Amino acid sequence: MSSHAKPAVGHADVPRHVAIIMDGNGRWAKRRLMPRVAGHRKGVEALRGVIRACAERGVSHLTVFAFSSENWRRPQEEVTLLMELFMRALENEVAKLHENGIRFRVIGDLSGFTERIQALIRDAEALTRDNTRLTFTVAANYGGRWDVVQAVKKLLASGVGVDDIDEAALANHLSMAGEPEPDLFIRTGGEQRISNFLLWQLAYTELYFTDALWPDFDARQLDAAIASYRTRERRFGRTSEQVQSAS
Ligand code: IPE
Ligand code: IPE
Ligand code: MG
């Protein structure tokens, strides 16, 4: 077992790190005959509630997929509205996150964003960097494959020898370096796929899929996901007997 995986044997009651693909905003709006952006706006509200619920439950890391590197393929108008929404959220929500002891991070290729958004991200990260209650990470212009490629580039640039390349060395250059790997992955919106989210880090994560659309996802649904997580036996390749005798 490589050192960065640090598996908790068996299962803990509350997942330390929850990673979420917040999907279904567009369909939520469509069902109400509203424009897709109304679903994204409602999605920001849902996220506010889930951040609070995670903090209350003692989750220490929450990572959400807000915009994939493939989402640029959407109609220009939707992309523009999503960027505006992201900017407004950065302007309006960060102070509250800070008041609540939340450390805020963004992972992804930030060069794809406007200077204004990049500056807001830098300021928010600097303001909240010493907070310890919950680390809240937004994946924006993020792709799991992009992350592996940029890590390999950094690793090679560091002058590392071929024989020194191992899983830990590569993991040290990924966007989530130093953070625990997700224990629980949640995808709303009914699709059962990873869509290029945290490919490397999800290797041993417990997966949970729900048909609930993201704007409808709330603390009660989070509890259902955590309840499902609690029933899982995390074996990390071992036998059930080994896991039980170790715990
Ligand atoms: C997720 O909701 C939000 C983003 C990808 C930005 P969608 O916009 O993908 O909603 P659906 O899947 O079309 O319902
Ligand atoms: C995944 O949702 C990305 C985000 C939620 C930001 P998509 O709606 O883009 O995923 P696909 O296209 O259905 O796989
Ligand atoms: Mg979608």
Residue 126 — pLDDT band, cuts 50, 70, 90?
very high
Calculate how far, in angstroms, residue 218's C-alpha sits from the geometric centre of ligand 1. Answer: 17
Question: In the chain, where are the structural domains located?
Answer: 17-246
Q: Which of 13, 23, 100, 123 is catalytic?
A: 23
Ligand 2 atom 1, closest CA = 195
Contact, 182 vs 63, CB < 8 A? yes
Calculate how far, in angstroms, residue 130's C-alpha sits from the geometric centre of ligand 1. Answer: 32
Task: Quickly tell me which residue has 């805020």 as its tokens.
Answer: 104
Query: Does the Cβ of 47 fall within 6 Å of ligand 2?
Result: no
Calculate how far, in angstroms, residue 143's C-alpha sits from the geometric centre of ligand 1. Answer: 16
Nearest ligand by distance to the CA of 26? 1
- Of 4-18, 179-193, 217-231, the poorest mean pLDDT is in 4-18
- CB-proximal residues (5 Å) to ion ligand 3: 23
Strand bridging mode 17-21 / 206-209 = unpaired
Which of 156, 241, 225 is closest to 14 using CA atoms? 225
Task: Report d(CA 16, CA 7) in Å as an integer.
Answer: 11
Contact, 46 vs 188, CB < 8 A? no
| CATH no., domain 17-246 | 3.40.1180.10
Residue 9 — pLDDT band, cuts 50, 70, 90?
very low
Task: Report d(CA 247, CA 243) in Å as an integer.
Answer: 6
Give the model confidence (pLDDT) of 53-103 as tens digits: 999 999 999 999 999 999 999 999 999 999 999 999 999 999 999 999 999
In this prediction, residue 247 carries a pLDDT of 83
Q: Which residue has the higher pLDDT, 1 or 207?
A: 207
Task: Report d(CA 116, CA 198) in Å as an integer.
Answer: 26
Report angle CA 87, 89, 92 to the nearest 5 degrees.
110
Task: Report d(CA 48, CA 230) in Å as an integer.
Answer: 24
| pLDDT (average), residues 104-133 | 98
Structure token pair of residue 12: 């803990």
Query: Does the Cβ of 23 fall within 6 Å of ligand 2?
Result: yes
Calculate how far, in angstroms, residue 191's C-alpha sits from the geometric centre of ligand 2. Answer: 9
Active site residue 71: yes
| pLDDT (average), residues 110-120 | 97
- Of 4-8, 94-98, 151-155, 171-175, the poorest mean pLDDT is in 4-8
| pLDDT (average), residues 158-177 | 97
Structure token pair of residue 198: 């945290």
Q: Which of 13, 71, 147, 163 is catalytic?
A: 71
Residue 12 — pLDDT band, cuts 50, 70, 90?
low
| pLDDT (average), residues 224-228 | 98
Which of 196, 156, 155 is closest to 172 using CA atoms? 155
Ligand 1 atom 3, closest CA = 23
Mutational pocket test of ligand 2: of 25, 69, 71, the residue with most ligand atoms within 8 Å of the beta carbon: 71
Query: Does the Cβ of 65 fall within 6 Å of ligand 2?
Result: yes
Q: For ligand 1, which residues put their CB under 6 angstroms from it?
A: 22-27, 67, 71, 82, 189
Active site residue 23: yes
Please, which residues have CB within 8 angstroms of residue 109's CB and are 6 or more apart in sequence? 69, 141, 142, 146, 150
